[in-house]
Chain A
Amino acid sequence: MVVSSTEARADLPDAATTKALGAALAGVLRAGDLVILTGDLGAGKTTLTQGLGAALGVRGQVASPTFIVAREHEPLPREDGTRGPGLVHVDAYRLGSLGELDALDLDSSLEESVTVVEWGRGLAEALTEDRLEIDLERPHGGEVDMDDPSAGVRHVTLRGVGERWATVDLAGLVAGLVPSAEN
């Protein structure tokens, strides 16, 4: 069986645009979706997830999940009283296998949440055939601006794998990104 994939690329000039990409993704992500985030320390994985969490409207501060491996954020009620999907934010850096996310002892079911797995490449693919892979690349080495150490363009590649993503316009999604005002 051939698994289809669609791809889009963009440059993210600053952290606000990285958050804006996260916010734009909130518009297409649904409960049960899996996102695999790849990139070095400081590439913007947590920043992107913060933008996503803010736009989804979930409870709690979206921060690095590294220490506790997984953070769960319940959906907050919207103005009309309905709730969207929650957010499960995983750092798989130290996990040897993600064959079973059960090992994370998660409270919420993945079917009810958007699951974002940082450092999940090579592990999380086993979870589902349909997934959105996002690679973030930050400048390597060079001169660091100590007043603004996170500055520098991130190259992002989005790859939708499987039926779920066959009809999603990823290129359109990244085309009109405007830096998020939220900080």
Chain B
Amino acid sequence: MGGMASGDPLVLGIETSCDETGVALVRGNELLVDATASSMDEHARYGGIIPEVASRAHLEAMIPTIGKALGQADVDLSEVDAIAVTAGPGLVGPLTIGTSAAKALAVGLNKPLYGVNHVIGHAAVDQLVDGEFPERVMALVVSGGHSSLLLVDDVATKVTELGSTLDDAAGEAFDKVGRLLGLPYPGGPHIDRLAREGDPEAIRFPRGLTAAKDQEKHAYDFSFSGLKTAVARWVESCRDSGREVPVGDVAASFAAAVVDVLTAKTIAACRRHEVETLVVGGGFSANSQLRELAAKRCAEAGIDLRIPPIRYCTDNGAMIAALGSAVVRAGVAPSSLDFGVDSQMPLTTVSL
């Protein structure tokens, strides 16, 4: 299946911003293959990402993963029309491995290279599942490293950052609460599982940046640090008084606070900007309470909700190939071969 169906360019996407080495081929909005190698197991031993470990794993996995993707799609490198690669944000070492590989391919094949934004890729990947975006969409990107609300007028050329977390990302807050409750890393999936056995209304944990005084400056920003502190002190006082910590209720009530704020602010932004389509992406969109509450609130507000299946939400090559495909089709100029990685790449920059 060489993907001869349409006249759209064949884009090879490479993602290495964190601990997944992802390589994918996309033509138009059709995903031909998505191959991923992960160093997650190595990091789990340390209880988190260690940049040097990730860099070495990317280096070892890069060529085999490219070979696997091409083999599975039965595509020859010479058929590739353009290369897209994550330029940022992310870890400097891992990003450097990915961009170096992409530059080598672009030079060797004499094909254009596009250094693209990882966070916007988390939104763009939905086009592979639910089709081309309508004229304007709102994108909520939530993961271990990011929690951002983006107004997407054109995913290839015009993205506005409405808000982001001021402290902890949503997934990171989950990992820290997991730490407080003595759960293994990463804590997110464990809390999600425990939360199903608990009462989300048992403890009324705080909703960060939702007070009236925050509406002017931080209407669409998030803060999960105060919530984390509240959970820590609540658990401490429980232990201090000799009571057993009701882990299920803490997990459920904490998760309820996070997803309440995420969805309430996002729906408010959709209303304010008169946007009728919401895309949710990033690894934290695997959270079951987020999926349920987003579906409920979008239905009430008449907003079309697009959340791709979980395998598209984690870091992968498909998201970068999808964004690369959109950028190429929009006629955006390729990146200069001497671009550097940008660990703090602004979310308004789609491609370099």
Interface SS, A side = loop
Question: What separation, in Å, do the CA atoms of A183 and B90 have in the docked complex?
Answer: 26
Interface size on B, residues (CB 8 A): 50
B-side contacts of A95, CB under 8 Å = 46, 50
Q: Pick from A69, A103, A142: contact of B237, CB below 8 A.
A: A142
Stretch at the interface among B100-108, B225-233, B261-269: B225-233
List the A residue with the shortest CB-CB distance to B52.
Answer: A103
B93 within 8 A of A: yes
| Chain A positions within 8 Å of B237 at CB level | 141-144
Q: Encode A61-89 as 1/0 by CB contact (under 8 A) with B.
A: 10110111111110000000000000000
Known contacts A64-B225, A67-B169, A105-B93; A73/B344 CB under 8 A: yes
For residue B92, CB closer than 8 A to chain A, the reply is yes
Contact residues of B: prevailing secondary structure: helix
Given contacts A72-B344, A94-B46, A105-B92, contact A67 B240 (CB under 8 A): no
CB pair B171 A106 closer than 8 Å? no
List the count of A-B residue pairs having beta carbons below 8 Å apart: 126
Specify which chain B residues have a CB less than 8 angstroms from the CB of A6 in the assembled complex. Answer: none
- Find out whether the CB atom of A59 lies under 8 angstroms from the CB atom of B51: no
In-complex Cβ contact of B51 among A42, A105, A141, A150 (8 A): A105
A7 shortest CB reach to chain B, Å: 26
Residues of A within 8 A of B (CB): 40-42, 46-47, 59-61, 63-64, 66-73, 93-96, 102-107, 138-144, 146-150, 183
Q: Which residues of B contact A (CB under 8 A)?
A: 18, 46-52, 55, 90-94, 144-145, 164-169, 171-172, 175-176, 179-180, 185, 204-206, 211, 217, 225-230, 232-234, 236-240, 343-344
